[in-house]
């Protein structure tokens, strides 16, 4: 329990506890920073925090999810400076809150997470939202759930320096387990889309880590901005099906990047419609088309992840599968027939390990869910 860990680390009781979920994106990859639709789902995996205010400006933080010699960190309010370490996410929150005019003292903070780091399940957004929720309670800050999401997004993009869209923070703050959240990232309008009956989800961590603050994720975002500028539109998702021929006029790789974003935006709308209609076969086909687009046009997949998707798609219990998250590692989501997700995920994970040498790990259904079956 996070409050027990807090007492052990800091020698006193926590004043408040808070949590925020990781997410799996059902469909809509790299559309969030292109003004498009996304369809994420909050997971039962979460980041938990415990907080107790201090009378000074010092923040002492501890994380259960990093090596012991790196688990403790400290900062001073008003002197936040990016270090490249995990404490930057805490500094990002305190710096953002101060910039928005919120007043608070220092605090002690303990963090524990069962959202695997770098797995494509938005562990960083869950951390930011959990800390913001905890500070809202500890210092009675006037923050709505939507304001927590937008503050978390600014913290990650402006302080940490990760050029992510707003999807992860919105679902961490507004999402409910079992109901997908259809988000228009241009307007930030949201709508609930219940999961259809007859199916359940499985998530397999490929074991290949990624990091959004550096690397090719940033390159892909820049390529999208360049493609939009060449097409004279403010964002790629302003384009529709009738504009697809225009995309072929772009030089490579911009043509492929734009084609993925525009077609993925269209697939999200189709997927939400299929879910509402209970058309799980169509939903599965859309997932497979989404992964092919990520692989071929957006080039964010990896050979081992393509193998994992292919193995899943070949399983009789699986209707569709795709890479979820920003790519270059992370997790694959499986759309399974009801009652078959646990066994299908284990079969696929074992076949993946045999074929690639990467162990992988079944994240959903979790051990508790599997034991109930």
Pick the CATH number of 195-371 from 3.50.50.60, 1.20.1730.10, 3.30.70.890, 3.40.190.10: 3.30.70.890
As beta bridge partners, residue 46 has: 21
Given this model, what pLDDT does residue 75 score?
A: 97
Active site residues: 168
CB contact at 8 A, 23 and 226: no
**Listed residue (56, 320, 301, 302) closest to 196, CA to CA:** 320
Fold of 2-192: Ribosomal Protein S5; domain 2 (3.30.230)
The whole-angstrom separation of Cα 191 and Cα 293 is 25
Closest CA to 123 of 31, 205, 246: 205
pLDDT of the residue at 371: 47
* 3-state SS assignment for residue 47: strand
pLDDT of residue 120: 77
Residue ranges covered by each domain of the chain: 2-192, 195-371
| Kind of pairing between the strands at 189-194 and 361-364 | unpaired
- The tens-digit pLDDT sequence of the chain (373 residues) is 899 999 999 999 999 999 999 999 999 999 999 999 999 999 999 999 999 999 999 999 999 999 999 999 999 999 999 999 999 999 999 999 999 999 999 999 999 999 988 777 899 999 999 999 999 999 999 999 999 999 999 999 999 998 888 999 999 999 998 899 999 999 999 999 999 999 999 999 999 986 554 568 889 999 999 999 999 999 999 999 999 999 999 999 999 999 999 999 999 999 999 999 999 999 999 999 999 999 999 999 999 999 999 999 999 999 999 999 889 999 999 999 999 999 999 999 999 999 999 999 999 997 645 544 4
Full-prediction pTM beyond 0.75?
yes
């Amino acid at each position: 329990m996070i409050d027990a860990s807090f007492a052990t680390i800091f020698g006193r009781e926590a004043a408040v506890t808070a949590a925020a979920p990781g997410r799996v994106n059902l469909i809509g990859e790299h559309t969030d920073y292109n003004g498009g639709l996304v369809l994420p789902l909050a997971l039962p995996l979460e980041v938990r925090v415990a907080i107790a205010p201090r009378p000074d400006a010092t923040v002492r933080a501890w994380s259960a999810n990093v090596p012991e010699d790196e688990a403790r960190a400290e900062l001073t309010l008003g002197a936040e400076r990016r270090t490249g370490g995990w404490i930057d996410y805490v500094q990002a929150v305190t710096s953002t809150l101060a910039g928005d005019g919120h007043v608070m003292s220092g605090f002690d903070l303990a963090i524990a997470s069962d959202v695997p780091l770098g797995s494509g399940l938005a562990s960083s957004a869950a951390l930011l939202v959990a800390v913001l929720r905890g500070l809202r309670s500890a210092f009675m800050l006037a923050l709505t759930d939507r304001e927590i999401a937008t503050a978390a997004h600014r913290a990650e993009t402006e302080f940490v320096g990760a050029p992510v869209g707003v999807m992860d923070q919105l679902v961490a703050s507004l999402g409910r387990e079992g109901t997908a959240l259809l988000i228009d990232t241009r307007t930030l309008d949201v709508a609930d889309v219940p999961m259809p009956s007859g199916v359940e989800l499985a998530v397999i961590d490929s074991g290949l880590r990624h990091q959004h603050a550096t690397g090719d994720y940033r390159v892909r975002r820049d390529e999208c901005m360049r493609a939009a500028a060449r097409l004279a539109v403010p964002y790629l998702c302003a384009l529709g099906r009738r504009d697809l021929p225009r995309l072929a006029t772009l030089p490579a790789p911009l043509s492929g990047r734009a084609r993925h974003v525009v077609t993925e935006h269209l697939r999200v709308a189709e997927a939400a419609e299929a879910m509402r209609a209970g058309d799980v076969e169509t939903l599965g086909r859309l997932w497979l088309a989404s992964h092919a687009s990520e692989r071929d046009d957006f080039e964010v997949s990896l050979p081992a992840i393509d193998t994992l998707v292919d193995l899943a798609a070949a399983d009789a219990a699986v209707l569709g599968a795709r890479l979820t998250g920003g790519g270059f590692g992370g997790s694959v989501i499986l759309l399974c027939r009801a009652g078959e997700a646990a066994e299908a995920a284990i079969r696929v994970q074992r076949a993946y390990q045999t074929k690639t040498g990467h162990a992988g790990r079944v994240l959903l259904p979790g051990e508790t869910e599997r034991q109930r079956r």
